[in-house]
Structure 1
């Protein structure tokens, strides 16, 4: 009889444990990587075709089939935000598994407001997808890959 009671409670405990492990949206990650696709809050961001790591610059670079010269810095994007939103954006970055590498503040000039940009570390080959995802965030006014400029 004691064995039966112990087994019963063990099964009930196991069932309660398993029930707590699935189905909760609080436990679902905010961002996932599916091969070459980034998924943020359920929205899929496909990788542009043909991009590749290239260049012998002081930083890692990404090239595109349209231009063999390095197009943008690998593993980093720029995110523009209002200074008041920085804590919320930083918390969102942490929730996405990303981190801030640097910060740039631009003072207000004339009619132009003060702006804050964050340099955000992202996985290589996911720079364009993360920039696109952050363009849709209400806490940011924009996001871009860290492009190289050329005088031609």
Structure 2
């Protein structure tokens, strides 16, 4: 009897934890630019802001471990092209350590989705949600970095 109750309880928990995402679960795009790190130097305060903006698009969307790695490498390369090897490496190490999808932060991998999405691949219907929310952001006219146009 106790085993049956435990089994039923476990089964119920499993059923509750299985969630299908809908468009309403995806938050609209936001960017904090370089997430607690400067967007540039004292002389050029927005030098690599556009690199962080592009990185935020990937992080908001989320996806697989491989997609995160590619986004982080792209960020590193972009910053290195503007500010040198070490500046890019500092940011790269920071995002690799601080961007895990399981951290309860506003800048985690897949931050547009509810917590604990992990590294699940974006499905076709989720891609539709992403595109709709992205269009909403573009149409809002919000500027993230002064020198770029969304």
- TM-score, structure 1 length as denominator? 0.28
Higher helix fraction (1 or 2): 2
Rg (Cα) greater in structure: 1
- Structure richer in strand, relative to its length: 1
Q: TM-score, normalized by length of structure 2? A: 0.28
For CA contacts below 8 A with separation 6 or more, give which structure has more relative contact order.
Answer: 2
